[in-house]
A and B are shown apart, each in its own frame.
Chain A
Amino acid sequence: MNTNRSKKCWPGKLLMATMMLAAGLAQAQQHAEHGAHQHGKASLTFVLDGNEAELVLSTAAANIVGFEHKASTDAERQQQQQQLEMLKSGSWFMLATAANCSISGQNFREEQGDANHADLYVDFQILCQAPLKLSDISFSLFSQSPALESLNVQYLVNGEAGVAELTAKNAVLKLIR
């Protein structure tokens, strides 16, 4: 999903790589996952296969809301409310109109890491009537969430994978044709 996921889990496994099969038998134990939590950067995946598509954004809450602590004043609560509504509505991205796409489903999840860190996940299931005409996706998220500086994108369009980094100045994802 993203390349800069933290690698500091399970320190016991940080032994030098040995290619020897006798070494390093994995034990079935749980370890805590710490996803990359970067302010200013968010990651997005987009996949299109046939006429089905899915777009997923995962980001530190600060990128969208402006802060990550529990909203304490009315102003903060209102701001949080507004920004989350915007995120859930899907008004922050726009698929090329020629492809005639519509959102068919949406999931939203908020994970409070600790008192001062939270992550947001939102995913949209999309149906396109003319998927071959889906030439680009433009993002207005940068103006709607000024704290967001860049968006790391990985996409898979009919088997063709690619990566892109979007910013406020370059907010259109061009898909390979």
Chain B
Amino acid sequence: MLLKLARQSLWHRRGTVLMTLLSLTISIALLLGIDHLRLEAKRSFTSTVSGTDLIVGARSGQLNLLLYSVFRLGNATNNISYQHYQQLASHPQVAWAIPMALGDSHRGFRVIGTNADYFRYFRYGQQQQLTFAQGEAFSTVYQVVLGAAVAEKLGYQLGDKIILSHGVGAVSFTQHKDQPFTVVGILAATGTPVDQSVHVSLESIEAIHLGWQGGAPGFGKKPKLNDTQLQQLQPKVLTAFMLGLKSKVATFAIQRQINEFKAEPLTAILPGAALAELWQMLAMVENMLLLVTLLVLIAALIGMVTTLLAAMKERQREMAILRAVGARPWQLFCLIQLEVFCISLASIGSALLLLSGTLAGLQPLLSSSYGLVISWLPWHGHTAVLLAALLALALLLGAIPSYLTYRQSLAQGLTVRL
């Protein structure tokens, strides 16, 4: 009965109510969106490194090393020698090691020089292994395995020939034109930066840079290598490598040993701890952002109360008639609260729809340009609590016009002033 009254009264004033609804929808969507993106970005980053115990690179800060080696952000401070990689990979506590040589690219996507262990041991998410959507791992030089997003965006098929570029810009002037690569495998999508990567063997990296001097192609004709020479290529330097350990308890001990490695200044990091440090640094920004959104939301709620208060004058007759047909003052209080409840609930509903729609629309862009896979469902364990708190706040603020209506309906009764 009350609900029907509230609904029809709202419908009667649909113009202003719609505007209120809109401003509430946008601010709720903003709040939920920021909360969702924050948590999803963390989940996405964490799942990328979940299977790796240590990452080793040249001596630098742990964040720098993490960002360039795993997330392909930024550049390495230095290279490390392949010989020391082999030495550390054969450490009795090390279960597996994945070498990485970065520095080349293909049309904006980074090239990783690695070996077959990458496809065998790399783990992401809940200990998931890399799988091939098509083809298989490279077995010799001049073969390339593409990440899912690379193949999709550039429209490559198995057997296609591609040219790698020197450097990591989207447009490169130095191309390894004389040495085309054949696509032999395409990985299944993982939702990690692996999707954005082009994988070749370490020997291939060595081959395309053969005859180069000081980081530029040497003068004169490059020596054409025959198959035996190609087989004999030995990698000399790496950018970084990932380690899996036999026992997690040894993690910090191995890290210490690598950090104190005498032959070369190296840094070993725990990817999880480095990420935790990153979140700690960003916590401040995150909180500021949440605070701003919260203020926007409160402004929208106050806007709603303002509209309700403004409507009170024009609704004097409505209230008087309701009183005349037997409505009690507390019922009028409930009526206004019910209106607030309806507006808030409708805003929450449309905010969730708006957000899911936007996320679903943005997903391809986010995943291809940032390597972030954001779920389109903005729902987490605490979202229900957040929304309940929001409703409670709305009702609390809504109590102001409701109470005034209650008071006035008592005081004014049925007196009709002309």
Interface residues of A, Cβ cutoff 8 Å to B: 1, 3, 5, 7, 9-10, 13, 15, 17-26, 28-31, 33, 35, 45, 47-49, 52-54, 56, 154-156, 158-163
Contacts and interface: CB of A to CB of B under 8 A. Distances in A.
B272 to A, nearest CB: 3
A161 B271 contact: yes
Given A19-B103, A22-B209, A28-B263, 16 more contacts: A1-B252, A10-B265, A13-B78, A18-B215, A19-B167, A20-B209, A20-B214, A23-B215, A24-B79, A25-B236, A33-B262, A48-B249, A49-B247, A156-B252, A160-B272, A161-B276
The residue in A13, A30, A163 that gathers the most chain B C-beta atoms within 10 A of its C-beta is A163
29 contacts: A3-B62, A5-B267, A13-B59, A17-B78, A19-B76, A19-B103, A19-B239, A21-B103, A21-B236, A22-B213, A22-B214, A23-B214, A26-B79, A30-B262, A30-B263, A31-B262, A35-B260, A52-B249, A54-B253, A56-B253, A154-B270, A154-B273, A155-B273, A156-B270, A156-B272, A158-B248, A160-B272, A161-B271, A163-B280
B237 A17 contact: no
Contact of A49 (B101, B168, B249, B276): B249
B79 A21 contact: yes
A35 B59 CA distance: 12
B8 interface: no
A54 B253 CA distance: 9
B249 A163 contact: no
A7 B256 contact: no
Nearest to B127: A159
A68 B76 CA distance: 37
A26 B237 contact: yes
A1 B256 contact: yes
Contacts of A35: 260
A30 B262 CA distance: 5
A161 B262 contact: no
Nearest to B260: A33
B21 interface: no
Nearest to A49: B248
Nearest to B50: A159
Interface size class of B (residues with CB under 8 A): 35 or more
A17 B263 CA distance: 19
Interface stretch (B80-88, B297-305, B354-362): B80-88
Interface of B: 50, 58-62, 75-81, 83-84, 101-103, 166-168, 205-206, 209, 212-215, 236-237, 239, 247-249, 251-253, 255-256, 259-260, 262-265, 267, 270-273, 275-277, 280
B389 to A, nearest CB: 24
What is the predominant secondary structure among interface residues of chain A facing chain B? loop
B249 A54 contact: yes
A20 B206 CA distance: 11
Contacts, number: 129
A162 B80 CA distance: 27
Nearest to B49: A161
A132 to B, nearest CB: 16
A42 B76 CA distance: 28
Nearest to A54: B249
B205 A21 contact: yes
B245 to A, nearest CB: 10
Nearest to B205: A21
Nearest to A28: B263
A77 B294 CA distance: 59
A26 B80 contact: yes
Contact of A22 (B215, B267, B271, B273): B215
Contacts of A25: 81, 236-237
A156 B206 CA distance: 37
Contacts of B239: 19
A21 B101 contact: yes
A26 B249 contact: no
A95 B160 CA distance: 59
Contacts of A48: 249
B252 A161 contact: no
B272 A162 contact: yes
B273 A161 contact: yes
Contacts of A26: 79-81, 83-84, 237, 264
A19 B102 contact: yes
B242 to A, nearest CB: 15
A47 to B, nearest CB: 5
A149 B256 CA distance: 23
Contacts of B60: 7
Contacts of A22: 209, 212-215
A21 B252 contact: no
B276 A1 contact: no
Given A19-B239, A54-B249, A162 B273 contact: yes
A7 B215 contact: no
Contacts of A17: 75-78
A59 B265 CA distance: 21
Contacts of B75: 17, 19
A75 B280 CA distance: 43
A21 B263 contact: no
A59 B215 CA distance: 43
